[in-house]
A and B are shown apart, each in its own frame.
Chain A
Amino acid sequence: MIEFKVETRDDGIGVVTPQGRLNMVAARRLKEVLGGLVGDGTSRIVVDMAETTFLDSSGLGALIGGLKSARQAGGDLRVARPTESVLNVFRLTNLDRVLRPRDSVESAFDE
């Protein structure tokens, strides 16, 4: 089972940490979590993937869905600290070519 840790930093950036397997069952919940954040006015979001043990294409789809909501609200979604196996899923679909994973959560919105 997967848990989503959600916190909003002082600078207004939301940090979502999926803990566990981000697969087709979890994808919809992630999309809801991200949509909820944006709906509450937090349109700059970092998804911290350090504790994500597994990712599939449905999980990627949820990330893109969250990115869409964030951008439409004038913000952005950044992905940080993916493990090597998670990064491989990005590479399989070329998503890494357009959505650059960041090395740290803190600096994810630095530029």
Chain B
Amino acid sequence: MTRRLLLIRLVVLATALLGVNYVVWRWLVSVNWDAWWIAVPLVLAETYSLVDSLLFGLAMWRIKERGDPATAPPDWTVDVFITTYNEPVELVMRTARAARDIRYPHDTWILDDGDRAELRAAAEAEGIGWITRSAEWQDMPRHAKAGNLNNALLATEGEFLLILDADQVPHPEILDRTLGYFADEQMALVQTPQWFENVPDDDPLGSQAPLFYGPIQQGKDGWNAAFFCGSNAVIRREALMQLGVSRYVGEVEVGVHRALRTAGSVVRSARRRLTPDELEVRRALDEILHDIGRARRELARGAPLFDVTYRFQRRVADIRRRLIAADLETVQSDLTAIAELEGLTEGPGDDLATVDLSVLDQLSDREWSPLGAVETVQALVDSVDVHRGDEAQPIMPLATISVTEDMATCMRLHALGWHTAYHDEVLAHGLAPEDLPTMLTQRLRWAQGTVQVMFRENPLVQRGLSLGQRLMYFATMWSYLSGFAAVVYIAAPVLYLTLGVLPVRAWSLDFFIRLVPFLLVNQLLFWVVAAGRPTWRGQQYSLALFPVWIKAFTSAFGNVFLRRELDFAVTPKTRGADGGRRWDLVRPQLVAIALLATAVLVGVVRAGTGHAPVLGVGFNLLWVAFDLAVFWVIIKAVRYRGPATDHSPAGARPGEPHEGAA
């Protein structure tokens, strides 16, 4: 064990012990139940922060600082993918040229989801490949970037893929520095940092994520849980394709079970609407119900699914043809009767026998209810069977359950037993958002995506993941819940300073002697692991963006459980044309600042006039000072004017919110 790791572990242990000691004491002794409406939220928020700190410590416990990678054999095949949708052609081409000039032999492809002739011409003029969606995607769910990559996967054939966002200009040695890890045949993915060149040193928008692209990913790496961040990563094609095929199998199995169950109720409901004299139709529906039951029994017995659905679909098709024929006879006899009655028959051949069956076929839509039911059965099973009628490609290697396809995909790779690595060396230079609106939209998007994955495929219960991997994925999701805690951390001192509401039993020596060492050692842990990397900006934003985190949580909840739209704000492609400062976007933070400032004044007056104890007010003033120091970054961000470029892409992953404790 290196001295650094030993030191980190000692501090992790100290943080955990002091933290648990403090929070347990708070719960048992220190909660002021008389003011439970603020006391309980506060102790919950502190418990939240403790869990966050423990998960952070767990990652640091195994921090894995990989040195130089092994050299890769010279004959592996690599495809370099540059994903773009609407970025300016020149921006994409700048990345594409650098990609073409990567030293290790490879093919370069621009994955143009915008299908732009101009970009195609520019790429071809420089001998760079250009791929857009194939015809199969017409009128199908497009699945954004995941769909773009899935499409390109089937159009190329390299053993490894380097994925780059349109703005991530790679260094020539990027493949030489990453491919070596794939000597491990179980290695599926190597992630490298995202680093932004258009960000000033003081990083007003918190674009760089030095703690995430560094100790946090390295800590996850120690648990074999370093994860894919969408760009600047090399992936083994076989791992993705294996994931795609096994997901396909799983989804077809689940889908067909569900479809058959639904099919049964559709047919039964159509059967209930029949009149007693519709014998033929009733018999047909009974046969279908029988077939549905048989198919379900066969599947339950473990019969190969494609054999079952093949037989089933053919039987249903037969029955459907019979139903149409039966109905045709009815219609014809009706018409003959009508014709005879009115004497309208004008010549031979002028009857329904000349009407093409296939035309009737098309006419027989769902208003014909028994037939409609049968067709619904067919369509239902069709949409989930073999060819996945509702998707452009049966195989979708990159996950489409979330707007952050990268993390979800990687978690599934880990569940299949693949390895990943985090290589901590900047090997590409990207562009970060240069204004507040774009930055906020991007943070919201990533937070929403992460929470979506937590709701849809909670890592804590995913089979195939080790306990450490489950906790590492969960840690990232947990960190995005900090918005709720932040509200409490603002409200509690404001309530005390203005109204004298005590959330704790007393601001006593007992309290400080437990809290202060925990806070100090927690900061020490950050300081030790960061080893000179700036962490304050990240800590600020994890609290200061609390409205974003809360909105991400509520909108993802609505999306997953209530099937609402995620309701994306449109990302502005250029800086606000009006050039005005967008104070309106940070209104909750401004309200918070105003409340905190007011609380300071009122608190000082109350203490000065003897209406409040000096110790309690003093502590709360310090607390408020910390909150204000945190929120200061929001003022800075609104006033920030980026360097004079006209593009600010919104693709990069801004790490995760991270913070200390109360």
Contact = CB atoms under 8 A, between A and B. Distances in A.
Interface string A52-90: 000011101100110111011000100000000000000
B387 A94 contact: no
Nearest to A57: B241
Contacts of B248: 64
B585 to A, nearest CB: 45
Nearest to A24: B157
A98 B387 CA distance: 13
Contact of A72 (B237, B250, B387): B387
B267 to A, nearest CB: 22
B242 A57 contact: yes
Contacts of A21: none
A104 B299 CA distance: 24
A18 B394 CA distance: 22
Given A65-B394, A68-B387, A97-B253, A25 B157 contact: yes
B395 interface: yes
B245 A57 contact: yes
Interface string B216-244: 00000000000000000000011001101
B238 A58 contact: yes
A5 interface: no
A95 B249 CA distance: 6
A31 to B, nearest CB: 8
Contacts of A65: 154, 394-395
A58 B250 CA distance: 17
A96 B310 CA distance: 16
Interface string A33-44: 000000000000
A93 B249 contact: yes
Interface string B239-264: 00110111011101100000000000
B387 A60 contact: no
Contacts of A67: 306, 386-387
A28 B154 CA distance: 8
A96 B305 CA distance: 10
B580 interface: no
User: Secondary structure of the A side of the interface?
Assistant: helix
Contacts of A93: 242, 245-246, 249
A56 B238 contact: yes
Interface size class of B (residues with CB under 8 A): 20 to 34
Interface string A95-110: 1111110000000000
A96 to B, nearest CB: 8
B304 interface: yes
A57 B386 contact: no
Interface size class of A (residues with CB under 8 A): 20 to 34
B334 interface: no
A94 B238 contact: no
B245 A64 contact: yes
A24 B304 CA distance: 26
B385 interface: yes
A98 B249 CA distance: 7
A25 B107 CA distance: 14
B159 interface: yes
Most buried by B among A28, A67, A71, A100: A71
B280 interface: no
A71 B385 contact: yes
Given A71-B385, A72-B387, A100-B306, A61 B154 contact: yes
A92 interface: yes
A27 interface: yes
Contacts of B252: 98
Contact of A68 (B253, B302, B307, B386): B386
Nearest to B389: A72
Nearest to B256: A98
A98 B394 contact: no
B352 to A, nearest CB: 26
Contact of B305 (A25, A58, A72, A98): A98
A95 B245 contact: yes
B334 to A, nearest CB: 32
B385 to A, nearest CB: 7
Contact of B386 (A56, A58, A60, A71): A71
A58 B265 CA distance: 38
Contact of B394 (A25, A64, A92, A94): A64
B253 A98 contact: yes
Given A24-B237, A93-B249, A99 B242 contact: no
A54 to B, nearest CB: 12
A58 B241 contact: yes
Contacts of B158: 24
A65 B245 CA distance: 11
Most buried by B among A57, A60, A100: A57
A57 B250 contact: no
Contacts of B387: 67-69, 71-72
Contacts of B388: 68
Contacts of A61: 154, 241, 244-245, 395
A58 B153 CA distance: 9
Contacts of B238: 24, 56-58
A64 B395 contact: yes
Nearest to A92: B242
Interface string B286-329: 00000000000000001011110010000000000000000000
B241 A24 contact: yes
Complex A-B, nearest 6 residue pairs according to Cβ-Cβ distance, in ascending order: A57-B241, A100-B304, A68-B387, A98-B305, A93-B246, A57-B242
Interface of A: 24-25, 27-28, 56-58, 60-61, 64-65, 67-69, 71-72, 76, 92-100
11 contacts: A24-B237, A27-B157, A57-B241, A57-B245, A58-B157, A68-B387, A92-B242, A93-B245, A93-B246, A97-B253, A100-B307
Given A24-B159, A61-B244, A95-B245, 13 more contacts: A25-B157, A28-B154, A57-B242, A58-B157, A61-B245, A64-B386, A64-B395, A65-B154, A65-B395, A93-B245, A93-B249, A96-B304, A98-B252
